[in-house]
């Protein structure tokens, strides 16, 4: 199986990765020539970042579920794995999705490069390259060289570019490099206006393209000519105005523009990326809390992250031919932007263009419907309804088991939160009425309830489940749960809600 290595950098990287995980969990699959195994690598110096933690946990649950039930069950139908799972046991590394930055905690940048021991010319050079002021985590103005790096690079991607470059020396990068094959692909997710993402994207990109010069890695040739896609998120949310904070809204724009100019010359301009996805939203909505990272940086999920996750799908749907590289340069670089049908402050499924609507409406709705049942009705059905009692049973014991209780439930709770956050955000995305009756689950979508058809309710749901499970063989209760619900929700949504497959 080919692999898609996803480097998710910074807060935005984590959040887009979360959206992608949701999409993949719902069963959305790229319409690609071959199957891809997803290998996410989260890069964020800010370890206490809530977004990062949430995404890591989500990925963990996904991985557990997918491992338990295997592929081919509709939901969780794409393999997501950690980098360490790719290598033989004796070489196991951290075992998480996160790349651990070394020597950044409570370290000043100055010390990170051992500034004081530099000889005169290099010290002079460092002095000017990293000149200027920044604001530290105590909201004090300090020299850039004195900035502590454990809260990300707080808007100093030039420092980030140095610190993140340790990535190329890391075991993770070595593993990545040595496991990289010609059919594999790379996708880099970052935002352009922050610190980590803006710095990490070029760093990773350049290190891949510069692989020939890296003495520590194997598979240099494949890597240099890797098919690389990337989404760069341009400002898409507001933050609260706080003059003491190193993050300023007006900075977002200024930094974005400066970085775009840099990309223009050094990313896009030199054809480093095969396919670059730009995304931005100038909608002036509800401001995020101004938190440079030290307060946990927990930002609500946003539609743009969903769209960005869709870019990953889109990238995988792009043919190998279009992503050819020679000498570390894309032969035919692709640049993409995202469009929806209707300009609206609160996006519904129907506001997408047809292809996207088709791609995601049914699957997302299926997962929503799955969630709704488990949330609201499962306890009524267990050991009562036929589908529950059929072998393998989905009984109380199963429900109490960690697979269900932890992995599935947690995942779907996250899914619910994800949806809720997106719908609460402005610009918002609210395809579902999560708390409504079953029949009004999907916004703008009325249930086909005619003379011949029955009412859409949990009774009907149970009925459909039992019908679907009848005569089927399942390898396990776990597999049964995932598979059965995927098929049943697909049926209900296509027949009753009129969604197209």
Rounded-to-integer distance, Cα 52 and Cα 49, Å: 5
* By the rule CB under 8 A, 155 interacts with other proteins: yes
153: part of which helix (H) or strand (E)? Answer: strand 150-153
Smallest gap, in angstroms, from Cβ of residue 109 to other proteins? Answer: 10
Sorted by sequence, the CB contacts under 8 Å of residue 283 that are 6+ apart come out as: 236, 345, 426, 427
469: part of which helix (H) or strand (E)? Answer: helix 458-469
* By the rule CB under 8 A, 6 interacts with other proteins: no
* By the rule CB under 8 A, 90 interacts with other proteins: no
Residues 239-258 that bind other proteins (CB under 8 A): 248-251, 253-258
Specify whether the backbone of 317 is left (phi greater than 0), alpha (psi in -120 to 50) or beta.
alpha
Rounded-to-integer distance, Cα 178 and Cα 82, Å: 15
Q: Of the ranges 348-356, 410-418, 451-459, 486-494, which one interacts with other proteins (CB under 8 A)?
A: 348-356
* By the rule CB under 8 A, 126 interacts with other proteins: yes
Rounded-to-integer distance, Cα 16 and Cα 303, Å: 10
**DSSP result, 213-241:** G-TT-S-HHHHHT-EEEEEEEPP-SEE--
Smallest gap, in angstroms, from Cβ of residue 440 to other proteins? Answer: 26
Interface residue with other proteins among 27, 60, 157, 292 (CB under 8 A) is 157
Q: Is the Cβ of residue 104 or residue 374 nearer to other proteins in the bound state?
A: 104
Q: Of the ranges 54-62, 332-340, 400-408, 448-456, which one interacts with other proteins (CB under 8 A)?
A: 332-340
Smallest gap, in angstroms, from Cβ of residue 252 to other proteins? Answer: 9
Smallest gap, in angstroms, from Cβ of residue 452 to other proteins? Answer: 36
Rounded-to-integer distance, Cα 207 and Cα 212, Å: 9
* By the rule CB under 8 A, 105 interacts with other proteins: no
Residues 267-326 that bind other proteins (CB under 8 A): 268-270, 272, 276-282, 284, 304, 307, 310-311, 314
Interface residue with other proteins among 139, 240, 289, 355 (CB under 8 A) is 355
- Beta pairing class for 98-99 and 36-43: parallel
Q: Of the ranges 81-89, 346-354, 444-452, 481-489, which one interacts with other proteins (CB under 8 A)?
A: 346-354
Smallest gap, in angstroms, from Cβ of residue 211 to other proteins? Answer: 11
222 and 44 Cβ atoms separated by less than 8 Å: no
Q: Of the ranges 57-65, 335-343, 434-442, 453-461, which one interacts with other proteins (CB under 8 A)?
A: 335-343
Of 491, 209, 271, nearest to 365 (Cα)? 491
**Helix, strand, or coil here: 238?**
strand
Specify whether the backbone of 388 is left (phi greater than 0), alpha (psi in -120 to 50) or beta.
alpha
Tokens 């800010």 belong to 46
Alpha carbon 427 to its chain's center: 19
Q: Is the Cβ of residue 228 or residue 482 nearer to other proteins in the bound state?
A: 228
* By the rule CB under 8 A, 333 interacts with other proteins: yes
Smallest gap, in angstroms, from Cβ of residue 258 to other proteins? Answer: 4
Q: Which two tokens stand for residue 458?
A: 């949990």
Q: Is the Cβ of residue 79 or residue 348 nearer to other proteins in the bound state?
A: 348
Interface residue with other proteins among 17, 259, 364, 419 (CB under 8 A) is 259
Q: Is the Cβ of residue 76 or residue 236 nearer to other proteins in the bound state?
A: 236
Residues 162-221 that bind other proteins (CB under 8 A): 162, 165-166, 168-169, 192-193, 198-203, 206-207, 209-210, 213
428: part of which helix (H) or strand (E)? Answer: strand 428-429
Q: Of the ranges 331-339, 410-418, 432-440, 460-468, which one interacts with other proteins (CB under 8 A)?
A: 331-339
* By the rule CB under 8 A, 353 interacts with other proteins: yes
Tokens 């996006």 belong to 347
* By the rule CB under 8 A, 400 interacts with other proteins: no
HSE on the CB side for 500, CA within 13 Å?
A: 8
Of 127, 134, 135, nearest to 110 (Cα)? 127
Interface residue with other proteins among 72, 121, 450, 471 (CB under 8 A) is 121
39 and 93 Cβ atoms separated by less than 8 Å: no
301 and 18 Cβ atoms separated by less than 8 Å: yes
Smallest gap, in angstroms, from Cβ of residue 17 to other proteins? Answer: 17
Instruction: List the beta bridge partners of residue 94.
Output: none
133: part of which helix (H) or strand (E)? Answer: strand 133-135
* By the rule CB under 8 A, 139 interacts with other proteins: no
Smallest gap, in angstroms, from Cβ of residue 466 to other proteins? Answer: 38
Q: Of the ranges 16-24, 90-98, 328-336, 458-466, which one interacts with other proteins (CB under 8 A)?
A: 328-336
With CB under 8 A as the rule, give the number of residues binding other proteins: 100
């Amino acid at each position: 199986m080919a692999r898609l290595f996803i480097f998710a950098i910074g807060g935005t990287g984590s959040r887009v990765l979360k959206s992608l995980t949701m999409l993949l969990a719902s069963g959305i699959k790229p319409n690609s020539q071959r199957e891809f195994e997803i290998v996410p690598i989260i890069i964020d110096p800010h370890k206490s970042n809530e977004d990062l933690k949430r995404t890591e946990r989500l990925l963990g649950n996904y991985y557990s579920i997918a491992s338990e039930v295997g592929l081919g069950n509709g939901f969780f139908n794409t393999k997501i794995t950690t980098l360490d799972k790719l290598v033989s046991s004796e070489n196991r590394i951290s075992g998480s999705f996160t790349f651990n930055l070394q020597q950044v905690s409570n370290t000043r940048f100055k010390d990170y490069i051992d500034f004081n021991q530099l000889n005169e010319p290099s010290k002079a050079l460092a002095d000017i390259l990293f000149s200027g002021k920044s604001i530290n985590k105590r909201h004090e103005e300090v020299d850039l060289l004195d900035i502590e790096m454990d809260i990300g690079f707080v808007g100093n991607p030039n420092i980030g570019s140095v610190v993140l470059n340790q990535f190329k020396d890391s075991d993770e990068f070595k593993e990545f490099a040595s496991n990289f094959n010609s059919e594999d692909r790379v996708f880099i997710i970052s935002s352009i206006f922050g610190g980590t993402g803006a710095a990490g994207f070029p760093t990773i990109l350049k290190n891949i393209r510069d692989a020939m010069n890296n003495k520590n890695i194997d598979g240099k040739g494949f890597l240099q000519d890797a098919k690389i896609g990337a989404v760069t998120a341009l400002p898409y949310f507001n933050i609260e105005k706080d003059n003491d904070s190193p993050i300023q809204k007006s900075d977002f724009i200024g930094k974005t523009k400066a970085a775009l100019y840099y990309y223009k010359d050094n990313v896009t301009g030199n054809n480093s990326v095969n396919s670059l996805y730009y995304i931005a939203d100038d909608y002036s909505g509800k401001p995020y809390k101004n938190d440079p990272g030290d307060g946990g940086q927990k930002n609500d999920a946003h539609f743009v992250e969903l769209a960005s996750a869709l870019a990953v799908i889109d990238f995988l749907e792009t043919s190998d031919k279009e992503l050819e590289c020679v000498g570390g340069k894309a032969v035919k670089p692709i640049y993409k932007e995202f469009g929806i049908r209707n300009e609206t402050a609160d996006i519904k499924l129907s506001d997408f263009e047809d292809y996207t609507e088709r791609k995601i409406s049914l699957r997302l709705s299926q997962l929503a419907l799955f969630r709704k049942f488990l949330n609201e009705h499962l306890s009524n059905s267990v050991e009562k309804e036929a589908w529950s009692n059929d072998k393998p049973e989905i009984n109380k014991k199963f429900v109490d088991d960690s697979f269900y209780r932890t992995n599935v439930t947690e995942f779907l709770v996250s899914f619910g939160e994800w949806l809720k956050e997106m719908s609460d955000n402005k610009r918002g995305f609210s395809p579902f009425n999560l708390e409504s009756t079953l029949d009004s689950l999907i916004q703008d979508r009325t249930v086909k309830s005619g003379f011949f058809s029955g009412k859409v309710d949990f009774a009907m749901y149970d009925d459909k489940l039992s019908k679907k499970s009848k005569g089927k063989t399942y390898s396990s209760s776990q597999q049964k749960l995932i598979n059965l619900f995927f098929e049943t929700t697909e049926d209900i949504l296509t027949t009753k809600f009129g969604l197209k497959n």
